[in-house]
Structure 1
Amino acid sequence: MKKIAVNILIISLFALTNVVCAQRIIPPSDELKIEGMVKTVLKFSLKDLEQFPTQPIKDLEIVNHNGEFKGVAKQLRGFPLKNLLDKIEFAVEKPKELNEYYLCLVATDGYKVVFSWNEIFNTEIGDQIFIITEKEGKKLAETDERILAVSASDLKIGRRYIKGLSTIKVNKTD
């Protein structure tokens, strides 16, 4: 009887360890919506996103905020986020107001990443913020996360590597 109790305890500890250590599951995204301070809400399907002209993106070492190596994103293709944003009309009266705008990229699991309008459209960083359309030779529909975005010039890419991107919220500071 004692041996059974010990075995149950060991199995329980093993199962609990796997649950605690497992990576969170990110639901896949099949549509990207742009909303907020825009004149018209836009929605893009996977097929819509795959119609944008793409370019190869160098393999990216994914490093978290502590500098810990998490993996490599390989064989990437995508297009700059600003090419997608060119399709929207911001709700501004004067162009100067865009200095107060920021975009919050939201994943299906609630993870959020923020970029300022100026960061995207007025710095070299904006040229390196990509919507990924292929990963490891697979199209969006064939990947687990579906819609991905990444700021490829970041030093610690993991913070702004968004899996399951579902919404871009355009906001204005108070």
Structure 2
Amino acid sequence: MKYLILFVVLSYSHVVIAQHDVKPTDYFLIEGKVKKPFTFKLEDASAYNSITFDSIVVYNHLVVRKSVLKDVKGILLKDLITKTSFDIIDPKPLSEYYITCIASDGYKVVFSWNEIFNSAIGKQLIVITEANGEKAISSAQRIAIISAADIATGRRYVHGLQKIIIGRVQ
């Protein structure tokens, strides 16, 4: 009986710890190994080309379906990253660069330069501007990114995107 109680208490505490609020963001900064930082503001989203997905299924790390985003519109992240320029002279070192996307709650995901600019992932990695009939400016999370080409899409579904840091492997 005491093991059952211990199991219930530990299970409940795990659920409580896993739940947290992500502070909504209205802009994010691209900085790091770039010549000049760039700020993307959600209010400026209409100035960029948009792509559309009928739906994006969000799967967790176990590839269990968690939710579905319908009627999704977004801006390719690579289009925003190209608004700044990498601090290089020759393009060869670009393969050494990585992009860290950081949410307002500290959650981080990492992409390589090649992944974004030289693979199919870059063609489906978006900053969400609209989903489920709601504009991002009105949504609880505001700025979010998702890689629709990922198998476990939820792993790199970042809510409350606050900052992107461009880094280079040493």
TM-score range, shorter chain: 0.7 to 0.9
2:49 maps to which of 29, 32, 53: 53
Counterpart position of 2:72: 76
In structure 2, distance between residues paired with 1:167 and 1:49: 16
Segment drifting more, 67-76 vs 31-40:
67-76
**Root mean square deviation, CA, Å:** 1.8
Counterpart position of 1:9: none
Residue 83 (structure 1) shift: 1.0
TM-score in terms of structure 2 length: 0.87
Residue 21 (structure 1) shift: 7.2
1:113 maps to which of 109, 127, 131: 109
Q: What SS class does the counterpart of residue 50 from structure 1 fall into?
A: helix
Residue 68 (structure 1) shift: 2.2
Greater C-alpha Rg: 1
| Structure 2 residue 26 is the aligned partner of structure 1 residue 30 | yes
TM-score in terms of structure 1 length: 0.85
Q: What SS class does the counterpart of residue 87 from structure 1 fall into?
A: coil
Equivalent residues, number:
160
Residue 137 (structure 1) shift: 1.6
In structure 2, distance between residues paired with 1:115 and 1:20: 30
Query: Between the two proteins, what is the percent identity of the paired residues?
Result: 42
Q: 1:106 to 1:23 in 2, by over 3 A?
A: same
| Structure 2 residue 163 is the aligned partner of structure 1 residue 167 | yes
- Structure 2 unpaired stretches of 5+: 1-8
Q: What SS class does the counterpart of residue 118 from structure 1 fall into?
A: helix
- Structure 1 unpaired stretches of 5+: 1-12
Q: What SS class does the counterpart of residue 170 from structure 1 fall into?
A: strand
